[in-house]
Structure 1
Amino acid sequence: MQFEQTTLSKPLLRAVAALDYHELTPVQERCIPEILAERDLLVSARTGTGKTAAFLLPLLERMLAKPAPKSGTRGLILVPTRELALQIQKVFEGLAKYTPLKCGRIIGGEAFKHQVASLRRNPEFLVATPGRLVEHIERGTPDFRDLEYLVLDEADRMLDMGFAIDMHTIASSCNSERQTLLFSATLKHRGLAGVKDLMREPVSIHMAAKEDKLSITQQAVLADDVKHKQQLVLALLEEQQAQRVFVFCNTREQTRQLGNVLKYHKLNVDAIHGEIPQSERKQVMNRFRQGQLQVLVATDVAARGLDVDSVDLVINFDVAQSGDDHLHRIGRTGRAGQSGLAVTLVSASEWDRMSSIERYLKLRFERRVLEGFKATYKGPRKLKKSGKAAGPKKKKAGSAKPRGKSASTASKPPVPVKRGGDKATKGNDGFGVVKKRK
């Protein structure tokens, strides 16, 4: 469906044309009519499907159709991270360019007094992170009695980050007659039951994120240990010749270490994680968007809500903690109909988690081996049909034990294998140094 075929007003159609939007995405086609009909929504949709415009366009349309110049803030968008707040504000500015509507921002890492001043200007929209907004509510600075629309974006992520109580605190401070829209990667999150109580007979829209394989080739490469993974990243970057690459780690420390290793090898790289100040993270993201950085190493703080065009390659240095986190990571590539590649490095301790993600996504990653960097780890031992690991056969009752030298040898415990060097050892994910093999 073309945007020109919708009932959106001329200022909004002019804005989408300037942004080079022509056809509605599936989530936009499903959500816009429901929001215009003033229904509460529960929507499951992955990052990169156009869901921000799916709720902003109809809400802007309704505000334009019913001006309220003397009211307080009319729309509140609650998001889990500062990066997503900045991204939504940017999208808002593009869509509202030819309207008088304004959007304020309340996030951590910015001056409190400046945010108070922004609230006093009564912007029609406000995008906020839960923690900082609750601080303002406790001080009595915002007034949401006139609020008409509450959007909970990435609701599952906010719950995972421990914002359940904050979400309820914020919702209880808002006008009870508001329209509430909830967007989440999955609607099966156990914490969503309490959030649904904030809504009035919501309509559920499922965009089948798990079954959407995107236009992304997904591969798995076995790895022995951290040093081996570092060498695999370097080999992948050299082999793929990718111009813009996301590398995801599960911890801040791993992010720092890998960033330093890649810088040592003269790569144009930077890293972002939760401990880096917001102003610095914003600068790093701008450099990455502008092509000044080839590689961005990040924790999952960067997996959601960041709009970066033409990412050629995503590398999961660590296997993601869940299938939904994996989806959001790989969603950085293969956007807007383009093809993409996502490679996950898998150690022995991560095999089960990778298998769980494959089951959740109903697909199997392509197995890949990089020449000269083949892992000693081959995957888990094959299982019998009964599900038990194959082992030595039991002796039949009454069978005689071997006598003599062989018997005493058989009764001795196995000689322990020394750890270290470049050999794989039992109970150890790999070896100390991975050398390229000829």
Structure 2
Amino acid sequence: MARGRGWMTTAWCLLLLCTAVNPQSRRKDSSLLTFLVGESVMAVDSLTKMITNAFTSGESRSTRAIMGQHQMSNRERFMCDTKGYRSMTPPTSVHRLMPGDIDVVAAMGDSLTAGNGAFATNLAQLFLNDRGISWSIGGQGDWRSYLTLPNILKEFNPRLTGYSLGKAYSYSKMARLNVAVAGAIDDDILYQAQVLVKRMRNDPAVDMKNHWKVITMLIGANDICIFLCTDPVRHHSDMHLKQIRAALDYLQQNVPRTLVNLVLVPDIMSLGHMRNKPQVCEIMHALECPCLFGANAASKAQLVNATIHGYRKVERELIESGRYDTRDDFTVVLQEYTEIAVTDDMKDSNGYATMDLSLFSVDCFHLSQRGNAYAANALWNNMLEPVGFKAKHWAPEFQTVKCPTADSPYIFTNKNSRDYLSRGTDTRWTLGSG
């Protein structure tokens, strides 16, 4: 068993190296090397679990207790009233889109969307893609066990499709419309958009013309973490703007009846200001994000911080420009819950926060299943908050769950937010409680 785990660690490190240096492997996630290593790691991991479970008991329960979300009983009802939030006939405008009107979900991005290591108990398992429980696109089980955006939307529309299941790489059928690839950077996002459109067109469950779709995109962290310090020109905010604009333009031209959630580049800097990180996490941070945590990190901090702000600035300016508000059947909304990872009440007198290890995988970088639940809850809340009033941080799962109401039944867009706020409506929304 130890030998198997050692083999998985070697394979994981090999793939990590190939992903970093080989854009084609990173982009396509279907090269022979990726396929062979990926399938082999999954097979050895399954065999290891079978052997472990034969001689021990409770391992999965202890892992779930440490890395999993708060569990709800099957008797627990969903926090929001779901009746009346699917239109009698499909709306013709994205600005009148209710949660139950969404028929298809999809996602684009990197390892954070691929669900890398959400239940990992060793470094080798970081390579496993837990797409079925990914915050934006996982559809495994239901919200009581795995709080994800699709599992919330299934309460409003049980016929929802497109979500991922189980452990799967992007080439797997179980990945469905999750085209995220571990190690992806800005250069890859247009290619992912092209792959996504092709999959949608070939999926018999997707009606491209009539189904309403929600696509969630998060990209840019790897540019900043890995490549910025060696090629700051290619990974400048101007290039970030160029790449995400090309991908969004492609989606606008090829996917009708769509709302795109563009998630703001996350607060990576905060990881460097957290206490209580195990030694293995310090090492992994230096490997996974060398520009911020590697050699001479202090000299690069200013560049990293400026680039994060630059990426966010161009994302905001692109969406606020109205470029994607020219048609009634397509729009892009910037979701901002990733802006602040550590709120002031979490910091000590020196400005440091203690890392909540239950939110992270074994590398303290990727999200645990509970971390994915936090992210899903925050994304859902952002979707039900008007533009200009979106929460800029996350909170414990189920602590605050926004719900559609008769006064604000639609997912908020740039246009309907202005209409809603112009009515002088109270900006306190109905909250569910978990």
TM-score range, shorter chain: 0.3 to 0.5
TM-score, normalised by the number of residues in structure 2 = 0.32
* Structure showing the higher helix proportion among its residues: 2
- If asked which structure has higher relative contact order (CA below 8 Å, sep 6+), I would say 2
TM-score, normalised by the number of residues in structure 1 = 0.32
* Structure showing the higher strand proportion among its residues: 1
